Amino acid sequence: MDELIVDPADIAKEEKTNGMVCHLLALLSFAGVPFGGLLGPLIFWVIKKDESEFLDACGKEAINFQIAMLIYSFISIILCLVLIGYFMLFVIVILDIVCIVKAANAANRGLLYKYPWSIRFIK
């Protein structure tokens, strides 16, 4: 799922770090910040997107995935009325954390991580 935009050796360490931070900011939702999983990467991306093509791509991926996770979470909350939603919420939380960590690790290596089950709203 990791993709090359350019050779990772050509990406500056600061760009890799910023890409990693952009992905990791999605963990704000687990720190109790309302919609932090979406707002963290969104704000960081809006401020920094013009600095590098790599960071722009990382930001778009993180934002798209967090929007998809919000949609899936709302559907799961509705499905809690028929009990299957609780299981779905558990799976969504685990998937979200694992994918964020994998994406941050890939960005730190200079690779673009394509999130699974992400909906491409921002292209």
Q: What is the chain's pLDDT, residue by residue, as a tens digit (123 residues)?
A: 555 556 777 888 999 999 999 999 999 989 988 888 999 999 999 999 999 999 999 999 999 999 999 999 999 999 999 889 899 999 999 999 999 999 999 999 999 999 998 988 888
- pLDDT of amino acid 32: 87
**Would residue 118 count as lying in a domain?**
no
- pLDDT of amino acid 33: 87
**Would residue 121 count as lying in a domain?**
no
Burial group, residue 85, by CB count within 10 angstroms (0-12, 13-18, 19+): middle
Domain span at residue 6 reads 2-113
Among residues 60, 85, 73, which one has the least CA distance to residue 29?
A: 73
**Would residue 15 count as lying in a domain?**
yes
Residues 6+ positions from 87 with CB-CB distance below 8 Å: none
Q: How many domains does the chain have?
A: 1
